[in-house]
Amino acid sequence: MTKNRGKIAIAGAGLCGTMMAIRLAEYGYQIDLYERRTDLRKTDISAGRSINLALSDRGLKALDMIGLRDQVSAEIIPMHGRMIHPSDGENAMYSYSGRNGEYINSVSRGGLNMTLLDEAEKSDNINLYFEANVKTVDINSTSLTVSIDGHESTKEYDVIFGSDGAGSAVRRTLQKQSSRLRFDFQQKWLSTGYKELHIPPTADGGWKIEKHALHIWPRKGHMMIALPNLDGSFTLTMFTPFEGPVGMDRLDTDELITEFMEENFADATVHIPDLLEQFRTNPTASLGTIKCYPWKYNRTVLLGDSAHAIVPFYGQGMNCALEDCVVLDQLIQDHDHDWDKILPAYQEQRKVDADAIADLAEDNFYEMRDATADPVFNVKRQIELRLEAELDYYSKYSLVTFRADVPYHIAMKQGRLQNKVLYNIAKAVDNPTEVALGPILKEVNEYVAERM
């Protein structure tokens, strides 16, 4: 720990705010980290704990930066592929990559947040405040007003980070002055909502369905997914429109709920003994994308979901939020702690990537929901997996998920071009296991090179 480089306030001790606090404290900044909720580690959050997220290379790289990768890796479950549960026919596993060692991981959101908070608490440079509700910021004086125990106080800082999630109070401050600040804000809701359900472990603590997979029940128009938890349970997330023939609004009697679940997700429903109770107790939540700009005014800056909340279908929201910290860290080094250079460079570099992953995440909703049940899509995936295993090729999914060195906007552009060619090729292929790969890769590479 070196000199006192200045005072920084961070609103929100979620995943990305806590990570940023840890990194800044290592440089010698004095951090006040304000969290609206009670301390996760001191409350019974058994329900919250079972919410899990897919952690991949961008998030792992960020954990590496603060020296927590090994510790977190001991508490994650590798998911090697998508296990597709079709409405008829056999279940099938599709690897995420043709290369060994490329997979995603199921991590407990609460567990990861607690690990980060434990690490933050070890630092003398971080003051952690719980039940501390950030009310507003003043971008001219770089001061933040927070309410703790019913007392409001205002303090000035050198820099303020708003990492207070999709409903950010820091961002709201900017929205309130949007015309004066020329602050652009766009929020787009999906007509599909989600409900979490839970498959308990076997009597001896094992997993009732394949442990090392992200399970998908694609049903054209709606779907369900499941990620494994360390205790043998699975967290299921059912995505279905709010209204319409398979709408949440129709599921209002025990008979309709049971019929819907058995008809659509029979091999999961059989493992949920208290289905009706879970269905009634667990809320139906909305999903949306938030885009805004600028992310910084003077020395106040947005980070993570507060700057760019995205729908969860690429499993990248947290990974992207943690990658924000890596990008900022690099800029701190490049600009030798000159915040008047770091913050403009951060928003300029990062906005294009946040927009790209937001768009990719929306596309992937349709891919997971519909295309995973499409035979041409699966032929294309099989060719891609062979290309990855046998030649030098990265699919769009792999570029986004396993190549933390490739910015999201490049991954999106390259991946979309590759897909266009491969999808056309796949339409004419009967046997993807035997088709010659050399000419395919040449065609793909030439098409991409001409357009990148």
Q: Which residues bind ligand FAD (CB under 6 A)?
A: 11-17, 34-37, 53-54, 133-134, 163-165, 169, 194, 237, 304-305, 312, 315-319, 321
CB of 265 to ligand FAD, least distance (A): 17
CB of 149 to ligand FAD, least distance (A): 14
CB of 434 to ligand FAD, least distance (A): 35
The nearer residue to ligand FAD, 133 or 382, going by C-beta atoms, is 133
Bond from prior residue into 294 cis (ω within 30 degrees of 0):
yes
Q: Quick one: CA dihedral 390, 396, 400, 403, positive or negative?
A: positive
The nearer residue to ligand FAD, 15 or 385, going by C-beta atoms, is 15
CB of 147 to ligand FAD, least distance (A): 9
191 beta partners: none
The nearer residue to ligand FAD, 16 or 66, going by C-beta atoms, is 16
CB of 441 to ligand FAD, least distance (A): 30
CB of 175 to ligand FAD, least distance (A): 14
Q: 31: buried, middle or exposed (CB in 10 Å: 19+, 13-18, 0-12)? A: buried
CB of 22 to ligand FAD, least distance (A): 13
Q: Residue-wise over 362-374: b if at least 16 C-beta within 10 A, else e?
A: bbbbebbbebbbe
DSSP characters over 201-241: PPTTS--SS-TTEEEEEE-SS-EEEEEE-TTS-EEEEEEEE
The nearer residue to ligand FAD, 98 or 110, going by C-beta atoms, is 110
The nearer residue to ligand FAD, 131 or 156, going by C-beta atoms, is 131
Residue 161 tokens read as 């980070």
Task: Give me the phi and psi of 304, to 5 degrees please.
Answer: 70, -150
Residue 153, number of CB atoms within 10 A of its CB: 10
CB of 184 to ligand FAD, least distance (A): 19
The nearer residue to ligand FAD, 17 or 111, going by C-beta atoms, is 17
The nearer residue to ligand FAD, 12 or 415, going by C-beta atoms, is 12
The nearer residue to ligand FAD, 166 or 376, going by C-beta atoms, is 166
The nearer residue to ligand FAD, 167 or 205, going by C-beta atoms, is 167
The nearer residue to ligand FAD, 285 or 352, going by C-beta atoms, is 285
The four Cα atoms 57, 59, 401, 411 give a dihedral, to 10 degrees, of -110
Q: Which H or E run contains 334?
A: helix 317-334
Residue 15 tokens read as 């995943």
The nearer residue to ligand FAD, 322 or 379, going by C-beta atoms, is 322
By residue count, the chain amounts to 452
Give dist(CA 251, CA 215) in Å, integer: 23
Q: Which H or E run contains 125?
A: none
CB of 412 to ligand FAD, least distance (A): 16
Return the SS3 of 323.
helix
CB of 102 to ligand FAD, least distance (A): 16
Give dist(CA 355, CA 412) in Å, integer: 10
Contact 194, 237 (CB under 8 A): yes
**Closest residue to bound ligand FAD by CB:** 14
CB of 311 to ligand FAD, least distance (A): 8
290 beta partners: 187
Angle made by CA atoms 440, 443, 445, in degrees to the nearest 5? 105
Nearest Cα neighbor of 402 from 413, 388, 391 is: 388
Q: How far is CA 42 from CA 46, 110, 260, 350, 369, in A?
A: 12, 12, 38, 35, 38
